[in-house]
């Protein structure tokens, strides 16, 4: 922004100072005090909720309280989200479906007798290759040297050339 012209500013100041001469109609200030005191003696209107809050609550403290509340709600929300994430994580082996009922060791159902270890009764099936070994594999013909099976009488005969 350009610096103001000092001559223009002189005029502006004079113009502004001339505003001081703008006055209300004559006699206005003679009646003014009476009007104020008459209104003052009237019962005060019931303050609105906003006015009461303004009177009783320090705006700085109110802002601080609102800020703290927002942070608190944010922390609670973050904790809730965190716990949800923890619940969906895979559980360590052998700790799933732990029951609290007191049963004699080894006599619990679904456990290996005597060990207390849970039987794996999950619905997941073992890989197919373990159920039917060899399935899915094409049979390969054995590579055999045919001359091996030719009639070669096994004897102690010594062949002599004719």
Partner 1 sequence: MPEWNEQEFVSRARKGDMEACDALVRQYQERIYATVYHMTSNHEDAADLAQETFIKAFRKIDKFKGDSSFFTWLYRIAVNNTINFIRSKRRRVILSINQMDEEWDRGEELLGLVSKDTPRQNVDRHELQGMLNAAMQKLSSNHRLVVTLHDVQGVPHEQIGEIMDCNTNTVRTRLHYARKQLQAHLSDYLKP
Considering the complex, what minimum distance in angstroms separates the CB of residue 15 from partner 1? 6
Using CB under 8 A as the binding rule, whether residue 4 contacts partner 1 is answered as yes
Using CB under 8 A as the binding rule, whether residue 7 contacts partner 1 is answered as yes
Using CB under 8 A as the binding rule, whether residue 93 contacts partner 1 is answered as no
Using CB under 8 A as the binding rule, whether residue 52 contacts partner 1 is answered as no
Site for partner 1 in 108-147 (CB under 8 A): none
Tokens of 49: 């909720």
Q: For the chain, give the secondary structure using H, E and C.
A: CCCCCHHHHHHHHHHHHHHHHCCCCCCHHHHHHHHHHHHHHCCCCCCCHHHHHHHHCCHHHHHHHHHHHHHHHHHHHHHHHHHHHHHHCCCCCCCCCCCCCCCCCCCCCCECCCCCCECCCCCCCCCHHHHCCCCCCCCCCCCCCHHHHCCCCCCCCCCCCC
Binding mask 10-49 for partner 1 (x = CB under 8 A): -xxx-xxxxxx-x-x---xx--xx-xxx-xx---x-----
Considering the complex, what minimum distance in angstroms separates the CB of residue 77 from partner 1? 35
Considering the complex, what minimum distance in angstroms separates the CB of residue 58 from partner 1? 13
Binding site for partner 1 (CB under 8 A): 1, 4-5, 7-9, 11-13, 15-20, 22, 24, 28-29, 32-33, 35-37, 39-40, 44
């Amino acid at each position: 922004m350009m610096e103001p012209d000092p001559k223009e500013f002189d005029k502006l100041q004079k113009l502004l100072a001339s505003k001081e001469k703008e006055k209300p109609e004559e006699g206005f200030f003679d009646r003014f005090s009476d009007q104020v005191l008459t209104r003052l003696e009237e019962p005060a209107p019931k303050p609105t909720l906003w006015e009461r809050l303004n009177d009783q609550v320090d705006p700085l403290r109110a802002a601080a309280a609102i800020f703290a509340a927002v942070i608190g709600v944010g922390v609670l929300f973050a904790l809730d989200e965190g716990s949800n994430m923890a619940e969906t994580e895979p559980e360590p082996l052998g700790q799933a479906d732990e029951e609290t009922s007191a049963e004699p060791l080894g006599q619990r159902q679904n456990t290996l007798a005597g060990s207390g270890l849970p039987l794996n009764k999950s619905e997941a099936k073992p890989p197919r290759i373990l159920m039917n070994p060899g399935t899915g594999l094409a049979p390969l013909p054995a590579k055999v040297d045919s001359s091996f099976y030719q009639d070669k009488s096994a004897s102690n005969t010594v062949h002599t050339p004719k």
